[in-house]
A and B are shown apart, each in its own frame.
Chain A
């Protein structure tokens, strides 16, 4: 059931590949602003790297949310999907598609940004890049799940766009804190297992609540 829905999401997304590429481009461009704004010196950039990359990833996830929901809502296909299958499974398929098409590419692109932000400055063969990727692997699905709730709630609202950011960003703060501090801990040669475990715990909590809440919200928006 969810697999069929997911296939449909991916098929719809394929037609809109430019829309999917734009948040990723945004991710890279925003990060590349920091050397201009702060300093191109490697130690400074390295210190900023975890926060900057994580904030950029968070914003890219927020920006990409819209296209997985908006057009389906506007052309009525969301209503049909909800008639055919349970709201929770519709929500799950959208969350999965969002992660596969935005979260996963962000994870894949993050080593590049690590290079831009001099994350490996002063060390040979460091694990920092892997830690960055790992933190994003555990953190971005939570961002997808929470974002899905916010997006589903605002679908029927008259003004949207920025509204969803206002609702969701306070809820993103814990993920941001632990995501960025995982990488910071690694940069400072400290243990980061605890931070990763907490990111995992957030993910589990979000998996339990968010698909259901998002499904209910989709139903309210359509009904």
Chain B
């Protein structure tokens, strides 16, 4: 426990976090590429078409749609958790994490909407349906973009961080409220999900779980990449950043 606590504190140090993420990234990318390669093989080639509901090949869209939709939610929750850590423990790196998740989460939300729409056309016969999930996802996209717009509107980064953190927390309290409101408002949906028993043929599970794992890791890798840039951005004047950028050790007292 004490060790875990110390590790948590070390992660608050920009230098340590930068170095550690630099060490992790190649491994994460390796695992991501392997999982995605196998996942794509299964999802585009070695899996059957859907017959029972007559979706045919369009079931393959699910293998990118479901991970994107899941990550759009998880990303926002992760932002709110990091924001809470930042506000409660006054940990500056947590704010950098919040800022780094935002663009990747927004991209996932956009992809969930796009693939959902493309899936909807052949399945429901329409590009857009105001159903609970798609509508919530659209509002989630607005929440992400709102955070990014708010963070970009301050000249003082520490104010931007704190204001953004409060917005992320307020947003996360609202996500379930928005979801249930929208669901109540229009209960029309296909009812197709992995948690529903019997809805998902085991033959579809292999590609789905592979793609879920692959895209989760890809998400983490992208967030860490953005985080590394964010750390450098925030510590441009630090000695270790200059040493890293110029590739040489500075003498004591210099800079």
Contact = CB atoms under 8 A, between A and B. Distances in A.
B17 interface: no
Given A156-B159, A174-B177, A167 B182 contact: no
A169 interface: yes
Given A173-B139, A177-B181, A217-B163, 5 more contacts: A170-B139, A171-B174, A174-B178, A202-B177, A216-B166
Contacts, number: 77
Contact of B182 (A173, A216, A217): A173
Interface stretch (A78-86, A96-104, A113-121, A157-165): A157-165
A32 interface: no
Contact of A156 (B143, B154, B182): B154
Given A173-B178, A177-B185, A166 B149 contact: yes
Contacts of A149: 166, 170
B170 A171 contact: yes
B181 A178 contact: yes
Interface residues of A, number: 27
A169 B139 CA distance: 9
A25 interface: no
A156 B177 CA distance: 28
Interface string B151-183: 001111001001100110111011001100110
Question: Considering the complex of A and B, which 4 residue pairs feature the smallest CB-CB distances, nearest first?
Answer: A157-B153, A174-B181, A170-B142, A167-B146
A158 B159 CA distance: 11
B170 A205 contact: no
Contacts of A209: 170, 173
B34 interface: no
Contacts of B159: 156, 220-221
B19 to A, nearest CB: 31
A163 B149 contact: yes
A213 interface: yes
A163 B153 CA distance: 9
Contacts of A158: 153-155
Nearest to B145: A166
A170 B177 contact: no
